Structures are given as C-alpha cells and as structure tokens.
C-alpha cells in the first residue's frame, strides 16, 4: 500500500491549546506526526504539521475532522500533498545569516534586498526583526544552491549598502554562530576613541608628523613596522609621567564598558591586541577586567622614553598570531572567535576570526571584512551575535545589578 504524506497549514489568532486540539484528532484518526513548526507574528499563529500514514483511506476522515474543527473555531486550514525530501536533495541546502543595522528600513529597502536575493537565486528562509527602536536590526536566514562565501554575498549587497547606508554582517548559519567564546579588540580607534601614539606625539611636540604617518599606516599606504619605528623615534625624551597622565584619561568608545560587562556575564574571554604600547594596554586590562592584553613594548629607562622598542613587534601578522594563540590557549575553535578592528594592520586578524568586524574602519578594511559597523557604538556588536532587543534589555538589567552590588555602600 502506497504511503501518504500530508502537510497541514493552520492560520489563526493565537491562543493556548490550538496545537493540542489539532493533535488530538490527528492521533484519533491514526496519522503519524513527522514534524511540527509554528511561530506567532503580530498575534497570528502560523502552524505547520507534516503527517505520514500507509493507509490512504485515512485521508477523508482527517479532512472531515479538520473541516469541522476549522468551522467551529474560526480557523483557516489547508491540506497539501507532501513529498519527503532528503536533506541532501534539498534545493537550497547551504545556509547563511545576513544581519542588517540601520537607522530606518523603508519599504523600498525591503524591495531592493529581496530583489537582490531573488536575482542571485538566493532563497529567504526566515526573517526576524531583532530591534526596531532607535536602530533597526533585521536578520535574514538565506539558503543557496551552492556554498556561497560571505564575501560573495557581501559583494552582491554593495549597491544596497551604499543606497541605504546600512551596516551588514554575513555569517555561515552553524552552531558556532551563537557560540562565540573569545572576542579580540584592536585598541586605538576601536576600543578607544583616539590613536594613543598620536596623542603621545602631541605631548612630544610632533603631533602633525605623527598623525600623517599613522594615517598612511592605517590606510595600508606604509609598512606598519617602518611607520611604528619612525613614530617611536619621535618620542625620545618624553617623561614617563606624561604617559601616566595620558593613560588615566584615555577616551573609551561609546558602549565599550557596557559591552565588556555583558560579554563577561555571558562567559566570554576578552582581549586587547594592539599595535600600540603595552604601558597603556596593561592599564586598560586591569581597569576593565579584560583577560588578555598584547601590545608592543615601549622602552623606558630611568623614567624617560628612549625612542626604541623592545621585543617582537605586533604588526598585522603579530595580531593574527596572537588571535590564533589565544584561541588555542583557551581551547576554542577559531570559528568561536570575534575580532574587531579598524586599520590595515587588523585585516589578517579579522580574516582569521569566525566573525571579523570592521569598526568605523578604513575603506581597505571594510572591503575585506565580513561585517562592518559605521556607528560609534561598540554595543551594536551584540546584534551580530544574535542578541535581540529583549535579550539586550534583560542583560543590561542583569549587569547593572551586578555592578551595583559590587559597589561599596
């Protein structure tokens, strides 16, 4: 006897008990439940149930029972033939997540992005709005016939990104996406809202020269090691007391402190890996309870900067090596690592991480990163980790209480 497979679709104003009532007569009639999916949107229930049975004679009584049920309860019920399909034969087996951040998301933006996906034979499997307050955050789960890389999808969205000034992250939809365990920040112009070495240059009376060299290095126009040594040479004779005063007044990027509290509450390990100087990074790690700080060692003798470095220079390769080393030390997969940076010397580090975020970054960095944020608020990173508005509100309350409880009375 041929096996029958059916797909039942129910739409209704949501209330408790609809699924239980439906399953009651499905079981009584004798059908086997294969799968159930349901969600509620704006108070409306959308329920799908997949059924199988060897006896085709059970189809009429099921249809009759469903028709009576729908009439009594005021529901909309549809029944469709269903052909079970092995996962390997699914038409869009490769899944990715596209997250969009923007101030507003008009209807024209919805139209353009859906047309872009359609033109690329990309199927939208699910859309979820993570926030719709001061910032709009949308998450698209998409399916493709072939294993498109994040870079392929990002390239396809270049025009859309320019038209609507939207920040985008593209990630593979795997269990690692919501299981990140280590986050590695660049310091200058990422965790901090300044270039520390340029501030030191001002104190040494070489501000303009230092800033120009920094600009070239961060845009990839000048070798980082050469630029660093040249700038450090300008600092010769600067007293350590000037460094101490600067370290006490470094401006954090908006959202940085709250982000650290939330990530620590979630069990993340947090690192600063910087092309700057350990003198400042160590103080930041101590002040904010960060787990690791890796940076260049500025040579100081008898309370004065010598104009030299000691030890290995942390350049682009050094940052990548540090990220890999920290992941190995903690026993994490690289797919569980988030890296955040803005300059050309961050590109390798961002590429090696499971999620690399270009934060208010130079164009050369944004072109190569799988995610970007162009708003000065580090807390927005949480949306790329799958956290929604309700989660964020709860986390803010939890970390707020923990901070309050830790303060002396």
Active site residues: 186, 188
What's the 3-state SS for the chain? Answer: CCCEEEEEEEEEECCCCHHHHHHHHHHHHCCEEEEEEEEEECCEEEEEEEEEECCHHHHHHHHHHHHHHHHHHCCEEEEEECCCCCHHHCCCCEEEEEEEEECCCCHHHHHHHHHHHHHCCCEEEEEEEEEECCCEEEEEEEEECCCCCHHHHHHHCHHHHHHHCCEEEEEECCCCCCCCCEEEECHHHHHECCCHHHHHHHHCCCHHHHHHHHHHHHCCCCCHHHHHHHHHHHCCCCEHHHHHHHHCCCCECCCHHHHHHHHHHCCCEEEEEEEEEHHHHHHHHHHHCCCEEEEEEEEEECCEEEEEEECCCCCHHHHHHHHHHHHHHHCCCHHHEEEEECCHHHHHHHHHCCEEEEECCCHHHHCCCCEEECCCCHHHHHHHCCCCHHHHHHHHHHHHHHHHHHCCC
């Amino acid at each position: 006897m041929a096996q029958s497979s059916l797909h039942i679709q129910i739409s209704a104003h949501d209330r408790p008990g609809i699924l239980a009532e439906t399953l009651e007569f499905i079981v009584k009639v004798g059908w086997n439940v294969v799968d159930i999916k349901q969600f509620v949107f704006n108070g409306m229930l959308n329920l799908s149930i997949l059924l199988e049975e060897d006896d085709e004679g059970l189809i009429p009584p099921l249809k009759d029972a469903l028709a009576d049920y729908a009439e009594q309860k005021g529901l909309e019920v549809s029944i469709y033939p269903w052909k079970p399909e092995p996962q390997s034969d699914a038409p869009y087996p490769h899944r990715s997540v596209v997250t969009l951040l923007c101030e507003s998301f008009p209807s024209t933006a919805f139209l353009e992005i859906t047309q872009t996906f359609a033109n690329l034979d990309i199927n939208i499997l699910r859309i979820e709005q993570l926030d719709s307050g001061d910032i709009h955050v949308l998450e698209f789960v998409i399916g493709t016939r072939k294993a498109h890389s994040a870079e392929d999808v990002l390239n396809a969205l270049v025009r859309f990104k320019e038209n609507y000034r939207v920040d985008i992250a593209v990630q593979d939809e795997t269990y690692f996406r919501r299981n990140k365990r280590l986050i590695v920040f660049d310091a200058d112009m990422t965790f901090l809202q300044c270039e520390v070495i340029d501030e030191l240059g001002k104190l040494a009376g070489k501000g303009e020269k230092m800033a120009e060299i920094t600009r070239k290095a961060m845009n990839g126009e000048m070798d980082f090691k050469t630029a660093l040594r040249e700038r450090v040479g300008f600092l010769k004779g600067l007293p350590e007391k000037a460094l101490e005063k600067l370290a006490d007044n470094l401006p954090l990027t908006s959202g940085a402190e709250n982000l650290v509290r939330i990530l620590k509450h979630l069990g993340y390990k947090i690192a600063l890996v910087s092309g700057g100087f350990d003198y400042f990074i160590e103080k930041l790690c101590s002040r904010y309870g960060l787990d690791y700080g890796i940076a260049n060692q500025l040579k100081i003798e008898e309370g004065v900067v010598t104009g030299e470095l000691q030890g290995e220079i942390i350049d682009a390769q050094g940052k990548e090596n540090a990220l890999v080393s920290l992941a190995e030390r903690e026993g994490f997969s690289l797919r569980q690592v988030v890296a955040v940076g803005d300059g050309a010397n961050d590109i390798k580090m961002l590429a090696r991480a499971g999620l690399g975020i270009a934060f208010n970054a130079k164009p050369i960095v944004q072109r190569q990163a799988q995610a970007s944020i162009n708003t000065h608020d580090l807390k927005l990173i949480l949306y790329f980790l799958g956290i929604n508005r309700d989660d964020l509100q709860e986390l803010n309350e939890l970390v707020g209480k923990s901070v309050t409880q830790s303060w002396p009375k």
